[in-house]
Structure 1
Amino acid sequence: MSEDKINLLLVDDEEALLDSMRRRLELRGFRVIAVNSGEKALEVARTTPVDVAVVDVKMPGMGGKEVLLALKQEHPDMEVIIMTGHGSFDPHEKDLAGKMHACLAKPCDFASFQQTLMDAYRKSRK
């Protein structure tokens, strides 16, 4: 990775997965803020620079779709990647068009995940 660290916001209510992803990404040079709810994600994004957000779809309280829409409304240049372990999420919904960088199925190959993060970061810098 380049000298510039990517500011990454991870949002998932599964604490073990969140911690594991945070550690793996920090070892690869990402600056990671990990939170376990959509509400906390919005608070963090309002006070901390975020280049890319990775948001789980199914969470108690504010779900991933709502987090995505709120993040994009408040931070239009932030790239958002949705992760889902549920087949009921439709990334092609009309109100989501053009708002997410990618939608990945959990679990996903870590190398592919890292490449998607890098692509999202490059897009956020244009």
Structure 2
Amino acid sequence: MSEDAPAERVRVWKTPAGVALCAEGDIADPGSRGFVLQIGEAYFHGFVVRKDGEVAGWIDRCPHAGFPLAVELDRYLTPDGSLILCGWHGAVFDPLSGACTGGPCAGGRLTPWLVEASGGVIRTA
């Protein structure tokens, strides 16, 4: 008996501008939320951080090993909300600049995902 393996999802690394993601108030300050967008037959994986009244978007991929950062859904920040945490290897990143400030990818940075908050809505830019 032969079973077909599930097809691997094709990933893309950019999104079109103007896609509404959520209301700004849906993400705590500080807070984070992950998004998976289907673009044609492919998928984009990213997350948005809200901190000090600003929003920043990041591609959900650790520069150290290429894994998604969160081990649990939407848990991208350290418990005190001060840093982004790679739950797999412990690397930490500044939430607004994406710079790695400690761990196995020191000196590296997250890949930006252009987002903006306007009129109470967070959208792709």
- TM-score of Structure 1 vs Structure 2, range by shorter chain: under 0.3
Bigger-Rg structure (1/2): 2
Instruction: Give the structure with the higher percent strand.
Output: 2
Instruction: Give the structure with the higher percent helix.
Output: 1
Greater RCO between the two (CA within 8 Å, min separation 6)?
Answer: 2
The normalised TM-score by structure 2 is: 0.27
The normalised TM-score by structure 1 is: 0.27
